[in-house]
Structure 1
């Protein structure tokens, strides 16, 4: 990790030097504004081109490599996984998301965007993790104007060691905007609304129901995460969506990278999700 940190620090210093080189262009344009309008426009155009086609590219490249190094040092290490797939969900695909019957998204291209896909094992169980953005259209009132909403978060899929025989969904009421959730689940003929559980979760059922131990562990997850959780259990597959939680965390460009930054776990909720999965497979 030390070599990675050194390389990132070099990239950061080069980026800062490029930013400093950008300032004289703006200063020269400001001075020329008093005596030569044509030269001023030329300098401003050069500054804009420099910003768009060079400076931003350097910034994006640095951030990509920083996020990758952070994930390799934390989530990938925890899951014993290969480096993340930046522009895909790994083994998580739009078809797999659709099959989970947990999160709606439009069929239009670009309405199910998956990134930073990581595949490994968690507690001895195969697991896939990725960032996900879902484009959803809905109507606030019947026959009203169509509105567009994007729900973003992290998608986690665990393969349990045995088939539970259950098929249900358990959602925080804010995991999906209410009108979108109601329309989506009304169209799922195999899932029936079954009220609320623990005064916290909206529950839909095709077969079985969450055991008390799972509800306790799910409550611990909900109490810890700043996101909103949604669960799908289909036989031996547990899917968890955490709204507003991400693998690719925001990074400030105001300071150089540090070892602490690279080792900061962007998704400690994985430990809570593991306990949820174990509660479903524990022998009675």
Structure 2
């Protein structure tokens, strides 16, 4: 059982456990006693309940996968593998297609303006260097926030960029991504960012300046002066503050806007599809949904 549970990422296991707890609570109620194999009819009633609550088909698929995983792990028959549950979700998705992702990209020009206002929003020069590095790496590396910073101060899964994952020289910075959303087995990927002439938005210059003030300490690469890790919440909070201070509506952006911006900028420069896929480590044509030419100028 322990080996089966360890076959998925800790964050996935946590979300699966929460989904199954909701399912069992709906199906049998609190204090129902020993677990028993759920039936396909019970799964269908739960899916209908989720649809009545307005849950998106994508969310329903996640819950279905969670129930399926735990049933198999417990040695129960899988009540989710039949034709009807999956086709029901497929049909609901067709009847109510998902809303398009309208998050705006953070372009090079927006990044430049964000970095310009950092000194007014950070309480120390160390924090300025920390967030200048975080934002620059997120954009030029087309990184997901989960690949860059810790999920929380107590996050111990080690998936954030670590000190040993970064190799710096005046001409380039090499980054090792040990795990990612599409690499749960940890095959890893290497990113090489070369020095540019973009001044304050050069990722190599930003990392070099940060390393000069960062304590020489193992652990997460992006840390505060008190050695605590930079968290996702802190990253997102200061990003919103910077966007607002720079004159942009924060509600139209998200942490993923750096990755969207990297794809949009690459397309705007005329890079071929294969090159854009390499920039963001995309394995399919899904990267095209990240290209938002209407926002290419960043205004």
Same fold (TM over 0.5): no
| Greater Rg over alpha carbons, structure | 1
- Which range, TM-score by smaller chain? under 0.3
Which has a greater percent of helix?
2
User: Structure 1 length normalisation: TM-score?
Assistant: 0.24
TM-score by length of 2: 0.23
